[in-house]
A = this chain, B = another copy of it.
């Protein structure tokens, strides 16, 4: 029997059609975000923020900022997945419960802080890390949604500046993608074709 997680990875599709009458409760939305935040992040920075857009007014505004794509408003909720430019000074706070419980020596947390300071001094490296962390969160959200019997559709085409302004993002918060989540409506495509494996895998 196929492992259920492998089966889920094999059957997941990026949905385009959602049941516009379906609603997700605050409890269900919180559960999706709780699981998304279990994703890995460099230095355990957890440099992400999830804005769950679910009122008709807020979804209509977001839809206008995303080339008027209907799924943004038809899905029960569309998340704005933000990556945060990493701030090395956050690291001691992020690791404190771990050092206090004795898993990690405090000196190691200081070493990580210094490592992050050096690694993200370069602006492009800092932005790359924001995109990486947000995408790890988005991917985990997508698989959590599948596990909860929900469909999802990541969206990269939107007006990032407009979204940042409309949702009051701070200057260190980058809207990396949108992810629509809800109940699938009929008419979604099957999973799109994949490139032959030999084109994407090299064994060295």
Q: What is the chain B residue whose CB lies nearest that of A201?
A: B33
Does chain B have a CB within 8 A of A193? Answer: yes
Does chain B have a CB within 8 A of A50? Answer: yes
Does chain B have a CB within 8 A of A22? Answer: no
Q: Are A191 and B135 in contact (CB under 8 A)?
A: no
**Which residues in A have some Cβ–Cβ distance to B below 8 Å?**
3-6, 8-10, 12, 14, 26, 29-30, 33-35, 37-40, 42, 44, 46, 48-55, 58, 94-98, 103-104, 115, 119, 124, 127-129, 131-132, 135-136, 138-140, 142-144, 146-148, 154, 156-157, 167, 176-177, 189-195, 197, 200-204
Q: Are A204 and B54 in contact (CB under 8 A)?
A: yes
What 6 additional pairs, Cβ within 8 angstroms, besides A6-B148, A29-B201, A46-B194? A3-B148, A4-B4, A42-B154, A127-B128, A128-B176, A136-B138
Instruction: Report chain B residues within 8 Å CB of A37.
Output: 194-195, 197, 200
Instruction: Report chain B residues within 8 Å CB of A10.
Output: 35, 38
Q: Are B54 and A177 in contact (CB under 8 A)?
A: no
Closest 6 CB pairs of A and B: A139-B139, A135-B135, A5-B147, A97-B193, A33-B201, A131-B131
Give CA–CA (A144, B25) in the complex, Å.
Answer: 29
Residue of A10, A129, A139 with most chain B CB atoms under a 10 A cut-off: A139
Q: Are B132 and A197 in contact (CB under 8 A)?
A: no
Give CA–CA (A150, B8) in the complex, Å.
Answer: 18
Q: Are B156 and A42 in contact (CB under 8 A)?
A: yes
Instruction: Report chain B residues within 8 Å CB of A42.
Output: 154, 156-157
Q: Are B193 and A98 in contact (CB under 8 A)?
A: yes
Give CA–CA (A156, B129) in the complex, Å.
Answer: 8
